[in-house]
A and B are shown apart, each in its own frame.
Chain A
């Protein structure tokens, strides 16, 4: 079954933010708040639409708002994927 990893999420969010270089900050700090990692609400909305497209997971805005860190978002997506 397809699952999402922290580095897969980070790759998506780098793309959304338009970063031209990659880091592995999500694995180093999986429980840091997205704002502290430099991702604002627009970047999260964009991430939501990429996850819908690439993972077939349609997170509600409410669910997205509850996921404040990379680990929480990855867990949320994976719970969804396991339930399908």
Chain B
């Protein structure tokens, strides 16, 4: 693998649910003071819930498991945003941002659409609503959306298009189980997505409705960095950025990640940097023709999940490749 410095247009890819793992980013919290400060600012904005979230995050045996949306959602948002902020404080100038699900809220905050305090209120409000959503789950199917669609039982919806043959479905536990059994009989492979909430299914509609008044009350600015929308697969317009409904619908509408990634890649050769835990989005991005041909490159800041002790070293190696350093 090349170790030379990477230059040119640069996209940040910010992961969402399914990227989480216990201890993610906790090594950075211990070893990189600037990162710890950014995280602490976000925990502080969360109030008492922030203290609980932090102690569970750093605990060897958390009280609430990491795959629970009460933990995964605010932590993914916070780590994605803090990592992005850190890179920018160190001199990185991303040309475009693309987030997957909750990762898009982190991207919107990094782009200045929301200030961190407002974004934290949105996350807190959503998490508070999850308790009202019927128990359910999510699964990734090795098939196209068109192949999956006819097999969906009532109560199960398309949750995300991650790749040409990777479609995520979401819904209530029982119809999800029967849908997966039907898909298996039809010859399609699937794997569970670790989530206690059936994100991007119609079951989340009440959460979107409930978020309306809060979103309408928050100050919004035009994006200072262009975003490719994971919901339209086009560049986010000013009107969309200012539409409370766009942000309210994030947890219920399907994520069009692959079409959005294609839009981003079509802009020309660039470096796609995964700004968050794991390497799930860069693994998907490696399927892009532009990456396979070598015209664009990918880099995961933290790489595949490893022990917390290696995170600072991985970040330093990535920073060196990006030609940035602490001020």
Contacts and interface: CB of A to CB of B under 8 A. Distances in A.
Contact of B304 (A17, A35, A37, A49): A35
B166 A42 contact: yes
Interface stretch (A1-9, A18-26, A71-79): A18-26
A40 B304 contact: no
Interface string A46-62: 10110000000000000
B165 interface: yes
B98 interface: no
A39 B282 CA distance: 10
Interface string B144-179: 100000000000000000011110000000000000
A25 B292 contact: yes
Contacts of A40: 166, 280, 283-284
B182 to A, nearest CB: 16
Nearest to A37: B286
Interface residues of B, number: 23
A42 B304 contact: no
B133 interface: no
Given A42-B140, A45-B191, A18 B283 contact: no
Contacts of A49: 187, 189
Contact of A38 (B165, B187, B287, B304): B287
B279 interface: yes
A16 interface: yes
Interface string A27-41: 000000001111111
A43 interface: yes
B283 A38 contact: yes
Contacts of A46: 142, 165, 189
Given A39-B283, A40-B280, A45-B189, A21 B289 contact: yes
A17 B279 CA distance: 17
Interface in B180-208: 187, 189-191
B319 interface: no
B165 A16 contact: yes
Contacts of B144: 18
Nearest to A40: B283
Contacts of B1: 36
B38 interface: no
B189 A18 contact: no
A17 B287 contact: yes
Contact of B142 (A23, A25, A42): A42
A19 B291 contact: no
A20 B262 CA distance: 14
A18 to B, nearest CB: 3
B186 to A, nearest CB: 12
Of A36, A38, A45, most buried by chain B (CB within 10 Å of CB) is A38
A49 B190 CA distance: 11
15 contacts: A16-B142, A17-B163, A17-B165, A18-B144, A23-B292, A36-B1, A39-B283, A40-B166, A42-B189, A42-B190, A45-B189, A46-B142, A46-B165, A48-B189, A49-B187
Interface of B: 1, 140, 142, 144, 163-166, 187, 189-191, 279-280, 283-287, 289, 291-292, 304
Interface of A: 16-21, 23, 25, 35-43, 45-46, 48-49
What 9 A-B pairs have minimum CB-CB distances, sorted nearest first?
Answer: A38-B286, A18-B164, A18-B165, A46-B142, A46-B189, A38-B287, A40-B283, A45-B189, A42-B140
Given A19-B292, A36-B1, 10 more contacts: A16-B142, A17-B287, A18-B144, A20-B164, A21-B289, A45-B142, A46-B142, A46-B189, A49-B187, A49-B189
